[in-house]
Every structure is written in C-alpha cells, then in structure tokens.
Amino acid sequence: MSGVLDGKVAIVTGAGQGVGKAIAEGLAGEGAKVVVNDVGVTLTGETENASAAEEVAAGIRKAGGEAAASADSVADWDAAQKIVQCALDNFGRIDLVVNNAGILRDGIFHRLSPEDWRAVLDVHLFGSFHVSRAAAPHFRKQESGAFVHMTSTAGLIGNFGQANYMAAKLGIVGLSRAIAMDMQRFNVRSNCIAPFAWSRMVSSIPTETEADKDRVAKLKRMTPEKVAPLVAFLGSDKASGISGQIFSVRNNEVYLFSQSRPIRAIHRGGGWTAVALAEQLPGAFGPSLTPLERSADVISWDPV
C-alpha cells in the first residue's frame, strides 16, 4: 500500500460487511485510523449481528492497523454525533467521512408503503446528512476534510421497483454538491461514488430472466475491494481540487458521470400556450428526451 492516508482518521458507515467492510479495510491498509460503524442489521433493516462493527475493527487491528468500532445508527441525529465523537475519543481528530450505510425496501411504486419509503430515506439520505453534519464543524475548524458518499446508478439512471432507493441515492448527489459548494471556503471536499460490486445490497436483484441471470453473474466478478482505492484517493490530499463530482467504479474501470445541464431550448416571443407547446415541443425536444432506461440498459457492456 502507498500510505496516502497516513495520519488521517476516517469514519466508514455500514462497514460491517460488503462494500463498507472492504472500504474500511482498504483505508486502514493505506494508513488511515478507521472508525468502523455498523448497527448489524439485515438488508431490510432488522437486527442481525450487533457485533459486526467490532468484528471488522478487530480484523483491522489484527492486520496491524488501528480501528475502533461504533454501533450507533446513522438514522438518528444524536447517534450520529456519537459516531463522530468515537473518532475524536479514540484518535483525536476526523479527516474523512464515508457515507456507505444503507438498507433496501424494494416495491413497485403503487404498492410502496409510507413506512418503507421513510425507512430507506432515513438510512441513506438522512443518515448521510446526519453524519456529514456532525463532522462538518470539525472540518471547518481545522480547515480540511473530505466526504465520500455512496450513490447508485439506480438513482443516477434508474431501476424498477426502487422509488425509495432511487430518491435517496439521487438526493445524496444533491447533498454532496451542496456540501462541496458550502464548504469549499474551508478546504473541504465532497464527492460521490456509484459502486458496482457484488454485495448484500445487490444480491436482491431478481434472476427470473436469462438476461438478469447474466447480469448477476457479471456482478459477482466485481469484488467490493475494487471500490476502496478510489475512496482512499478521494479522501487523500492528492485529490485536492476534486469536489462536487460523481464517480463510479466497475471492476477495473473508473467513470466520471455527467451532471444535469440544459441541452436544448425553445423560445416564443409572445409566450407559450399549451396548444403552442403541443405543436412545437415534441418535435424540438423529442430527439433529446431521456429514455426510460434502467442502469443495466445504459451500462450494458462487460466489465474489464
């Protein structure tokens, strides 16, 4: 390892297994002292293994790194303060926050319950805000720090039966950009990563068709460890000047995603009526309208 994070202290939420665990271990391998945060729940949010965070932290320490465990919930404002305090109590500072914690409550939109809507946003979107906001005053005071938030191509592009997850993940993109703009003056950076990796979060993908089975087989070749190097880079001083961006990791590929900008306009001197729009808008905008594709349709080539 290069040691690009020597002297840094990182918090990784949802680090009890999967992508979060791989990130925590990867950051420790690069020299960071890591707070491993996980409440130890199932994919849908029920308690499963309350000692998950300590098990990962113990593994890091056994490998020669420094780590502390936190089992506080990102979905609770007061608990999020404790996650950041864990870093301060154990290592004296905080330099990097990786917002990775998440759950799934998939359901077709017309059957999606308010409870399942709120549960997913509470962990993904509100959780990312809670932990980021808890760390922000410390970053401001020391005039340095980095946030890395896990978004998803489900939010950036789309997927079936995931309105709650899509809304949360696209909301995280807006949150990250707002942080990047508001805290730029304090030398604080904020970026997003949409990871492609076989983990618990994607293991729920249906495999009813041959196309879905082929997609899952390809995902299984994308290990969570592939995501950690980009997180380490974005959390290091070597990423100075990179903020407000959206990246993706897909096996050995790293992508930079575009962000919304106007692509076409029509003007009418006297203003518009519904009839005038019906006559002109479809022809003018039609070729540029974004199709209703899911991420597997857009990023359909084999990973390399």
Q: Which residue numbers are catalytic?
A: 165
Q: How far apart are CA 184 and CA 179, in angstroms?
A: 8
Eight-class DSSP state of 74: T
Q: How far apart are CA 158 and CA 102, in angstroms?
A: 17
CB burial string 103-141: b at 16+ within 10 A, e below: bbbbeeeeebeeebbebbbbbbbbbbbbbbebbbebbbe
Q: How far apart are CA 6 and CA 236, in angstroms?
A: 9
Q: How far apart are CA 218 and CA 80, in angstroms?
A: 36
Q: What contacts 184, CB < 8 A, 6 or more positions away?
A: 243
Residue 300, number of CB atoms within 10 A of its CB:
11
Dihedral, CA of residue 11, residue 76, residue 48 and residue 109, to nearest 10 = -110
Q: How far apart are CA 216 and CA 221, in angstroms?
A: 9
| Residue 211 token pair | 């196309």
Query: How far is residue 67 CA from its own chain's centroid?
Result: 22
Q: Are 194 and 152 in contact (CB under 8 A)?
A: yes
Q: Number of helices and strands (H, E) in the chain? A: 11, 8
Q: Are 286 and 278 in contact (CB under 8 A)?
A: no
